[in-house]
Amino acid sequence: EQAAAQNYRCGFIAIVGRPNVGKSTLMNHLIGQKISITSKKAQTTRHKVTGIYTDDTAQFVFVDTPGFQTDHRNALNDRLNLNVTEAMSGVDAIAFVLEAMRFTEADRTVLKQLPKNTPVILVVNKIDKDKAKDKLALNAFIDEVRAEFDFTAVEVVSAKHGLRIANLLETLKPFLPESVPMYPEDMVTDKSSRFLAMEIVREKLFRYLGEELPYAMNVEVEQFKEENGMYHIYIAVLVDKENQKPIVIGKGGEKMKKISTEARLDMEKLFDCKVFLKVWVKVKSGWADDIRFLNELGL
Ligand code: GDP
Ligand code: MG
Ligand code: K
């Protein structure tokens, strides 16, 4: 038993990449089961969604880092970026997710923000795409990407179809230090479903508001309950001024509809059950100037 404990590995792996490369899909496959409520403690940090995969030889603790804000600089986003950097500092390895046959400026921006001194593993996702089925073309693509950045290792996967996920875990394992597991083996995340729901809405707001994102905005879960095998989730988006409301809602409610529909679909995937989601915008004047309030939110 002593010997087994000595060979066991456990450590942190950050999953990074621009939006839409498939980080969330990959995370869901890596942890291989639906996220469940494992801890009800108050959230003190905002921007780490952790997935945990445990087997007989290792425990992988995955850190998701949503929302690399590359444009639209303001104090709030600076804090968010700081949290992204924080989430990455001290990890044992970084899995940089890229979409097969698509290497863009946004990908390069993320690469530039990665800490030095930490191994970066290139994870080429979506190899099920038609364009990626040509092995020569895929290899040429990988060579092209490797020419620009010094990756420690390379893996190819299809997160959506669950292809080569075990290979990816094997590739990542040597980067974990020898250690006993840090978390109970039945634990898949240290974030509550409530927190994850909030995180999903926040991600959609960032995605759909972009440049228009109000300087002061926050997301609050007003109600979260399970009833007849269905989640009922009420989420308020807090803005600072009345005139910011229409920006978030969009013409004819268009934006809010998109944001809440996509958020609901993500939640249903993540929680593996039907979700009733209501998102609305509330004005809460002056809160953004209150640094103490920001600190209380864990920002
Ligand atoms: P994230 O923004 O990086 O978290 O990306 P998501 O996990 O939300 O995925 C973005 C989109 O890519 C979704 O429509 C996924 O279904 C799709 N996607 C993710 N992985 C794959 C894959 O392996 N193959 C294909 N064809 N699509 C994928
Ligand atoms: Mg995501
Ligand atoms: K997503």
Residue nearest to atom 17 of ligand 1 (CA): 22
Angle between helix 23-31 and helix 254-271 axes, rounded to 10 deg: 20
Residue nearest to atom 10 of ligand 1 (CA): 20
Contact call for residues 229 and 249 (beta carbons, < 8 A): no
| Pocket mutation for ligand 1, best pick of 160, 168, 199, 267 (most atoms within 8 Å of C-beta) | 160
CA 101 to ligand 3 center in whole angstroms: 19
Alpha-carbon distance of 48 to 229, in angstroms, equals: 27
In this prediction, residue 42 carries a pLDDT of 29
Record the tokens describing residue 27, joined without a space: 């995370």
- Residue stretches of the chain with pLDDT short of 50: 1-3, 33-47, 49, 67, 69-74, 77, 291-292, 299
* Neighbour tally for 179: CB within 10 Å: 15
Ligand 1 atom nearest 125 alpha carbon:
23
In this prediction, residue 78 carries a pLDDT of 54
pTM: 0.63
In this prediction, residue 64 carries a pLDDT of 64
In this prediction, residue 204 carries a pLDDT of 87
Q: Where are the alpha helices (DSSP H) in 115-192?
A: 135-146, 165-172
Mean pLDDT of the chain: 80
Tell me the residue type at 191.
Answer: K
In this prediction, residue 35 carries a pLDDT of 44
In this prediction, residue 295 carries a pLDDT of 54
Ligand 1 atom nearest 27 alpha carbon:
7
Alpha-carbon distance of 173 to 115, in angstroms, equals: 20
> Can you point out the beta strands (E) in 115-216?
120-125, 153-156
Taking alpha carbons only, the member of 144, 163, 162, 285 closest to residue 218 is 285
In this prediction, residue 153 carries a pLDDT of 98
Ligand 1 atom nearest 64 alpha carbon:
4
Task: Summarize pLDDT for 237-250 with one digit per residue, the tens.
Answer: 998 888 889 999 99
Residue nearest to atom 18 of ligand 1 (CA): 22
214-235 in b/e form (b: 16+ CB < 10 A) is bebbbbebeebeeeeeebebbb
Contact call for residues 191 and 49 (beta carbons, < 8 A): yes
Record the tokens describing residue 30, joined without a space: 């890596």
Phi, psi (degrees; rounded to nearest 5) at 14: -90, 135
> Can you point out the beta strands (E) in the chain?
9-16, 49-54, 58-64, 93-99, 120-125, 153-156, 217-227, 230-239, 275-283
Would the CB of 28 count as within 6 Å of ligand 1?
Answer: no
In this prediction, residue 182 carries a pLDDT of 81
In this prediction, residue 173 carries a pLDDT of 97
